[in-house]
Amino acid sequence: MKAANIITLVRIAMVPVFIVVYMMHTETSEYISLVIFIIASITDKLDGYIARKYNQVSNFGKFVDPLADKLLVASALILLTENGVVPGWATFVILAREFIVTSLRVVAISEGRVLAANNTGKFKTVLQIVAICVLILTSVRSFPLAGGFTTGDLFMWAMTLFTAWSGFSYCWDNRDILTVSAAK
């Protein structure tokens, strides 16, 4: 198995570890789960770099890498929702965007096209990772801002709104795929 794929599989294996540590609900577990989340997030960039640099791009990697990303982000959002940090509607919006974009990519593949991530989607991913990092730590997310808002509120809203926007933008930019497929 290629190194890039091994790194991706390690990221997937880190998800349940992240979940268990976060669910311990101690101050220490917050910090440890944050470190696990950050390391897992960094492996996303690392496996892609290795795959491209050493010509290890594979169909397996193209399938599993985005799955690993979604498992990591979804697990964090679900845990944060369960703990009352992120409202359920925000988690729904974010996960719905991921399902919609993934479905659009599947339709594109059936039409013989590959839809690469655009810069908006890449920024969305970075914003989600940063926001989740802020939201994991009670001491950071509880920091008060103007108007009764907290740092957590700011990052939650930014992550949710930008994720929704990036999904709309991606669908709009690729709407021809939907119209061609619907006409068949």
Rounded to 10 degrees, the C-alpha dihedral 167/173/179/184 comes to -90
pLDDT at 110 over 90: no
CA distances from 91 to 18, 42, 67, 134 (A): 18, 22, 17, 16
Residues recorded for the chain: 184
- Is pTM, for the whole model, over 0.85? yes
Could you say which of 64, 83, 102 is where a domain stops?
A: 83
* Separation of alpha carbons 57 and 54, rounded Å: 8
Residue range 19-46, pLDDT digits in tens: 999 999 988 999 999 999 999 999 988 9
- Give percent of the chain with pLDDT exceeding 70: 97
* 73 and 30 part of one domain: yes
Number of domains in the chain: 2
Structure tokens at 181: 């497929």
* 112 and 26 part of one domain: no
* Separation of alpha carbons 65 and 69, rounded Å: 6
* 170 and 182 part of one domain: yes
* Separation of alpha carbons 3 and 177, rounded Å: 34
* 34 and 103 part of one domain: no
* 155 and 95 part of one domain: yes
Structure tokens at 152: 């957590």
Domain range for 136 is 87-184
* 134 and 160 part of one domain: yes
What sign has the CA pseudo-torsion 122, 118, 153, 99? Answer: negative
